[in-house]
Each structure stands twice: as C-alpha cells, then as structure tokens.
C-alpha cells in the first residue's frame, strides 16, 4: 500500500517506490493543484478555472495558451498579445479558414459596436503596410495595388472620384 510501480526506461526492471506527494488531486471533480480548479461535469466537459495573476496560464504544449491574467488566447503562440492571437510561421496552409456549408447559414460577422469613427474595424496588413481597411464609419481604404471590380455595384445612385454613393473610397 502507498506505492507505485515505476520504470527507469527500456531494458530496466520496474520497481516499486513510495507514492509521490500530491496536493488535492481528485479527478472526480474537486480542486487540483491548490487554488486552480479542474473539474469534470456530468456531461464529461473538462472545466479549468485559472487564477488571475501573471503566469497563471493554461497551456497545451506550445499549441494553445490561455492566460489567466489577461484572458488572452493564443493558438500557435506562447505569449498572445491580443484577445485572440493566431500565429503560423511554416507551411503553405492558411493561418485560419472559415467554412460555412449550410445553404441557409451565415458567414463571418465582425461586430465593432464600440469602435471610434476613423479607427479600423477591419484591417489587412503586411510588411509593406496597410493593404485594406474598413473603418467604423464604413469608409474603405486600399493602400497597395489597384482596385478591380468584377460584376455590378448595385444600390448606388452616384459614383464620383473617391466616393461611391455616400461612402468614401480612399486610395493611395
């Protein structure tokens, strides 16, 4: 009693040793490791409650980080700098892919209720600078390259230099 069978590796004989000291471990749904709680509900959902000090993070290898103090989530990055930070530095695959196959479903919604007019609501950049920006007022800025429109612009009563309808089209 009070011992575990351990192995020192391939080719060695397993041996019994004293059970290591553990702090509050009960995978039946109670606190694990001091003030942090890991619980499993009746539906089998794993819940992790993080403390709020710097360094109180939940990590899965180097692939996923949830910071306890900032509540930032990083995918592919150990120290996320934004609320949701996704990083990829290899391969020929997209860093993110959104695919909605249902015929009656929706695509992607970016809701920027609290964005100040003039601030970017959506911005695409690269090392050369801003490529495309839609600001909180709905104005569009295209910073690199040319604008090509394929198809009709509908619902517009006027097209003037730098403006389509009542929206500004800014270009460099």
Task: Using the structure block, give the residue that is written with the tokens 């702090």.
Answer: 23
Which pTM does this prediction carry?
0.56
Q: What is the pLDDT at residue 94?
A: 86
Residue 42 banded pLDDT, cuts 50, 70, 90: confident
Least confident of 19-33, 43-57, 79-93, 104-118: 19-33
Residue 147 banded pLDDT, cuts 50, 70, 90: low
Residue 2 banded pLDDT, cuts 50, 70, 90: low
Res 97 pLDDT > 90: no
Q: Quick one: three-class SS letters along the chain?
A: CCEEEECCCCCCCCEEEECCCCCCCCCCCCECCCCCEEEECCCCCEEEECCCCCCCEEEECCCEEEECCCCCEEECCCCCCCCEEECCCCCCCCCCCCCCCCCCCCCCCCCCCCCCCCCEEEEEEECCEEEEEEECCCCEEECCCCCCCCCCCCCCCCEECCEECCEEEEEC
CA–CA distance, 61 with 68 (Å, rounded to integer): 16
């Amino acid at each position: 009693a009070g011992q575990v069978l351990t192995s020192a590796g391939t080719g060695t004989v397993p041996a019994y040793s004293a059970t290591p000291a553990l702090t509050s471990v009960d995978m039946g749904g109670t606190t694990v490791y001091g003030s942090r709680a890991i619980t499993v509900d009746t539906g089998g959902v794993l819940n992790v409650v993080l403390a709020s000090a710097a360094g109180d993070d939940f990590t899965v290898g180097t692939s996923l980080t949830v910071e306890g103090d900032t509540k930032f989530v990083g995918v592919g990055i150990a120290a996320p700098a934004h609320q949701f930070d996704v990083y990829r530095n290899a391969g020929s695959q997209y860093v993110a892919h959104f695919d909605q196959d249902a015929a009656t479903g929706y695509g992607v919604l970016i809701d920027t209720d609290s964005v100040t007019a003039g601030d970017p609501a959506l911005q695409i950049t690269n090392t050369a600078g801003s490529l495309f920006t839609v600001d909180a007022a709905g104005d569009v800025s295209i910073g690199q390259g040319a604008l090509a429109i394929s198809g009709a612009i509908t619902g517009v009563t006027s097209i003037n230099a730098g403006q389509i309808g009542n929206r500004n089209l800014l270009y460099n």
